[in-house]
């Protein structure tokens, strides 16, 4: 089962990257059409694709996007944990009873799952109850828990949350989520700047149409990325919940943990408490209610009860 899930997520990652590359190329070509002031879209596309006119902007965008992706892959830990104080809980170097307990729980899960790797474990200072997992590969993956989550959950509930995050790593979907988040932000930034490039001067019909398409993409692409993130993230949350129940041998700890986290958010407004938007789609609980990338707690609990 896990081999099939991992293969599906690997294929999804490759497809998502291919889609984003195609969109990047399309955006770059539109900006290049404006740059060369093409008389029509077809003439402009043909001239650029056949290199009668070198697609300078397209080439530069691909280079910049590739550089940013490589930077994120090499520094995802610092990016995701920035904005909060955090501490790595190193196995065998725990400094408190709480740290030893968390480290022991993770070690139990790793052994129960039969894994040959151990994700890094981080405790992040935050006033809200949440957790996330990330990484590009299993051997550089991490699990982060907020201090408020650790204070308010019982041992079995904490273990269920950590099993949920470990399931994300086992399923191979952390790479997919990381890529979608990074590429979506780059793409939207490029479109917004692309509209205002080469302003002024009389433009031929093709160049004006290209600018019109870029303006339309300013409204279409945010909706596209939101729908894509909702589809990918919601399916992965159900899978991780199920994976946690499988590792625990019982769905009740996961259900109790989700209920406590949901009730905690219902009592206070934490919408402005998290200053790092890059990890929003990674959390075990989605802060936003409208257009959330996460399924509702009610649906997740119902799925666990029917498991």
Exposed/middle/buried for 204, CB within 10 Å: 0-12, 13-18, 19+? middle
Look at the chain and count its residues: 307
Task: Give the rounded distance of the alpha carbon of 303 from its chain centre.
Answer: 23
* Active-site residue (options: 99, 165, 237, 298): 165
CA distance 69 to 179: 8
CA distance 147 to 126: 6
Phi, psi values for residue 156, rounded to 5°: -65, -35
Question: Is residue 247 within 8 Å of residue 170, measured between CB atoms?
Answer: no
Helix or strand holding residue 204 (H, E): none
Q: DSSP string spanning 252-307?
A: HHHHHHHHHHHHHHHHS--TTT---GGGGGGSSS-S-STT-SS--HHHHHHHHHT-
Phi, psi values for residue 275, rounded to 5°: -90, 5
What is the SS3 assignment for 233?
Answer: helix
Which residues have CB under 8 Å from 14's CB, separation 6+?
Answer: none
CA distance 236 to 246: 15
Residue 165 appears among annotated catalytic residues: yes
Q: Enter the DSSP assignment of 221.
A: H
CA distance 172 to 179: 12
The catalytic residues are 165
């Amino acid at each position: 089962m896990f081999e099939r899930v991992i293969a599906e997520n690997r294929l999804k990652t490759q497809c998502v990257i291919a889609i984003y590359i195609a969109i990047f190329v399309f955006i770059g070509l539109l900006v290049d059409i404006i740059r060369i002031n093409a008389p029509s879209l077809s003439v402009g596309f043909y001239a650029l694709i056949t290199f009668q006119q070198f697609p300078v902007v397209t080439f530069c965008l691909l280079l910049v996007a590739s550089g940013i992706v490589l930077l994120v892959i090499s520094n995802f830990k610092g990016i995701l944990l920035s904005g909060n104080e955090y501490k790595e809980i190193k196995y065998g170097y725990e400094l408190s009873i709480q740290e030893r307990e968390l480290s022991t729980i993770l070690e139990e899960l790793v052994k129960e799952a039969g894994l040959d790797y151990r994700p890094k474990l981080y405790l992040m200072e935050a006033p809200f109850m949440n957790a996330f997992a990330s990484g590009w590969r299993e051997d550089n993956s991490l699990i982060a828990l907020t201090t408020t989550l650790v204070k308010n959950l019982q041992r079995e509930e904490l273990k269920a949350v950590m099993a949920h995050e470990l399931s994300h790593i086992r399923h191979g979907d952390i790479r997919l989520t990381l890529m979608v988040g990074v590429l979506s932000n780059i793409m939207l930034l490029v479109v917004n700047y692309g509209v205002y490039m080469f302003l002024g001067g009389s433009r031929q019909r093709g160049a004006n149409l290209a600018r019109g398409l870029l303006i339309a993409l300013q409204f279409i692409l945010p909706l596209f990325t939101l729908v894509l993130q909702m589809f990918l993230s919601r399916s992965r949350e159900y899978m991780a919940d199920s994976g946690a129940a499988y590792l625990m041998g019982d769905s009740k700890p996961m259900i109790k943990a989700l209920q406590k986290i949901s009730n905690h958010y219902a009592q206070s407004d934490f919408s402005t408490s998290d200053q790092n938007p890059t990890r929003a789609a990674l959390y075990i609980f989605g802060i936003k209610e409208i257009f959330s990338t996460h399924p509702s707690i009610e649906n997740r609990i119902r799925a666990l009860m029917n498991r």
